[in-house]
Amino acid sequence: MFNDIGPLELVTLIVLAVLVFGPDKLPKFIQDVTRTIRKIREFSESAKQDIRSELGPEFKDFDFEDLNPKTFLRKQLDSDELGLKEIRNGFDLKKEMAEVTDAVHHRDSGTSTGPASSGGRIDMTKKPEDPGKDDRPPFDADAT
């Protein structure tokens, strides 16, 4: 509960508690706080047990920590039922970026040319080889 409190902070809290409540009232205040915390824990455990009993036997292994979205996603992604690890491992970002860069700079990324060598891809940056198709007006980017 107080894992992130250092020793200096703890001493400061104790000194403040003694100054605010006084040495004679401090033990009773600590008892009241611990009693309240204990009652809250008992209430939450009772509520959890009631929810589990109402859900039925098919939810006997239901964990309330799964209601936290981060925990739920981590649990679902670690199970890898969807094959996400295979997809993630099969995707080479550096290769894809190199191909895009080569296409932008009009460089040939492979050793052979043509759509068959680039995995069936067609280079849209090259002009068509049919000279009869140049009769259409130029593309106007502002008009679209």
pLDDT in tens, the chain (144 residues): 567 788 899 899 889 988 998 889 989 989 999 999 999 999 999 988 888 888 888 777 777 777 788 887 777 776 655 566 677 677 777 888 888 888 888 776 554 444 444 455 666 666 555 555 556 667 777 776
Task: Tell me if 48 sits within 8 A of 64, measured CB to CB.
Answer: yes
pTM of this prediction?
A: 0.41
Q: Which two tokens stand for residue 6?
A: 């250092």
H helices of 1-144, in order, are: 7-55, 69-79, 84-90, 93-104
Nearest alpha carbon to residue 109 among 92, 123, 93:
123
